[in-house]
């Protein structure tokens, strides 16, 4: 049987192990939303992960919803990311970038010209975002017109091309956690009456168009997708039938390198709502036998080892443990204790609570 620590062929990539660093927003990009040398050092420290998924990165200026998150749509940002990918590759790692449009989870102070953020709806989310003034309520959005949606698809395609130009091994489209694509998926949010609202087929249309565009641009073996079928994150109320909705999506996706599924409430209860993840996996694999099934949310060593050994997952993503344990792979392999996370340095700031978490040996001798 495979173990968590065995290599894995993921699309066009060969991973050293099946442990993935989950996407983690840290709000430390520089002016112009350009990745900094400090970010390159942070990711280099974590390159023993089989795969790193970067923090969510906006595909266009309007896609930004939090202070100092990195972009991946212009030459300066591509050059900044090149430092990151070079550092990770030199350390023997693999890295994909998470492509993000926040939709209505934004604030006018973060939007070009101070305009309203866009969404599937004009209804405001009950959610906060992180701005220069700290955590504030998100701003009321403007519903995208149907004739604007090809531009959104084109922005994802362009960002995917920029990612490859920046040296990434691939991309993960962020379809989770109540952001733009999830705002189209869920009938609790999407109140449109055009071809992108109403039926499941209509609500899934934008996500499927984006996935076909991205996979068409950079190749299916470099493309992944993250979904969170039942999370209430970012004011995302439950869909009336998440199982049927997500089944529809996975049966119409292009071939992909992987599907990344957050089980339960992102960062919270794994059993917040009923959902049959095994059934979704079965549907995904039936269409996409080469595609990998990546799981996340609240995994510890024993859970992750059992999931891989029992064939419930190909890959396991760890989020919070990677923040405070740059050498998480070694700690899991050798069953060493994990260092705790400092919450006050999660978002924004400098090296403290970012690149200064020591590896285990250093921690022992400090």
Q: Which residues bind ligand FMN (CB under 6 A)?
A: 22-25, 55-56, 98, 174, 176-177, 226, 262, 266-267, 296-299, 318-321, 346
Smallest distance, ligand FMN to C-beta of residue 173, A = 10
Tell me the residue ranges of DSSP E strands in the chain: 8-10, 13-15, 19-21, 51-58, 95-100, 118-119, 128-131, 134-137, 142-143, 170-174, 223-227, 258-262, 292-296, 315-318
Smallest distance, ligand FMN to C-beta of residue 171, A = 13
Question: What are the respective helix, strand and coil percentages of the chain, to the nearest 5?
Answer: 40, 15, 45
Query: CA 66 from chain center: how many Å?
Result: 15
Q: How are beta strands 95-100 and 170-174 bridged, if at all?
A: parallel
Element (H, E) at 44: helix 37-45
Smallest distance, ligand FMN to C-beta of residue 36, A = 17
| Of 174 and 221, CB closest to ligand FMN | 174
Give dist(CA 81, CA 205) in Å, integer.
30
Smallest distance, ligand FMN to C-beta of residue 169, A = 18
Give dist(CA 317, CA 338) in Å, integer.
16
Smallest distance, ligand FMN to C-beta of residue 193, A = 30
Q: Which residue has the tokens 């909705």?
A: 245
Of the candidates 73, 156, 179, 196, the residue annotated as catalytic is: 179
Burial level of 361, CB count in 10 A (0-12/13-18/19+)?
A: exposed
| Of 117 and 264, CB closest to ligand FMN | 264
| Of 197 and 299, CB closest to ligand FMN | 299
| Of 87 and 261, CB closest to ligand FMN | 261
| Of 197 and 266, CB closest to ligand FMN | 266
Active site residue 354: no
Residue number, nearest CB to ligand FMN: 319
Rounded to the nearest 10°, the torsion over CA 299, 355, 166, 260 is 10
What are the catalytic residues? 179
């Amino acid at each position: 049987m495979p173990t968590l620590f065995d290599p894995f062929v993921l699309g066009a990539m060969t991973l050293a192990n099946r442990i993935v660093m989950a996407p983690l927003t840290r709000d430390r990009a520089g002016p112009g939303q350009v990745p900094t040398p400090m970010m390159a050092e942070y990711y280099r420290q974590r390159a023993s992960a089989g795969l790193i998924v970067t923090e969510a990165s906006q595909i266009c200026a309007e896609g930004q919803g939090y202070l100092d998150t990195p972009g991946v749509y212009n030459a300066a940002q591509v050059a900044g990311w090149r430092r990151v990918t070079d550092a990770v590759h030199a350390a023997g790692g693999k890295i994909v970038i998470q492509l993000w449009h926040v939709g209505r989870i934004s604030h006018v102070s973060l939007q070009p010209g101070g305009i309203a953020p866009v969404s599937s709806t004009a209804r405001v989310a009950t959610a906060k975002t992180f701005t220069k003034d700290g955590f504030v309520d998100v701003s009321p959005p403007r519903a995208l017109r149907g004739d604007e949606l090809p531009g959104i698809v084109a922005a994802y395609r362009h960002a995917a091309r920029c990612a490859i130009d920046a040296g990434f091994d691939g991309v993960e489209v962020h379809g989770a956690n109540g952001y733009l694509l999830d705002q189209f998926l869920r009938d609790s949010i999407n109140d449109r009456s055009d071809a992108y609202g109403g039926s499941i087929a209509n609500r899934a249309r934008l996500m499927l168009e984006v996935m076909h565009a991205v996979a068409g641009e950079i190749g299916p073996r470099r493309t992944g997708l993250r979904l969170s079928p039942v999370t209430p994150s970012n004011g995302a109320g439950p869909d009336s039938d998440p199982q049927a909705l997500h089944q529809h999506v996975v049966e119409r996706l292009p071939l992909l390198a992987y599907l990344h599924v957050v089980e339960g409430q992102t960062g919270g209860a794994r059993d917040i709502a009923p959902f049959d993840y095994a059934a979704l996996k079965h549907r995904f694999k039936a269409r996409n036998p080469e595609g990998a099934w990546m799981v996340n949310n609240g995994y510890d060593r024993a859970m992750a080892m059992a999931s891989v050994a029992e064939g419930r997952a190909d890959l396991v993503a760890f989020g919070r443990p990677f923040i405070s344990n740059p050498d998480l792979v070694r700690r899991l392999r050798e069953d060493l204790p994990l260092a705790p996370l400092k919450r006050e340095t999660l978002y924004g700031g400098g090296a403290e609570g970012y690149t200064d978490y020591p590896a285990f040996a250093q921690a022992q001798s400090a």
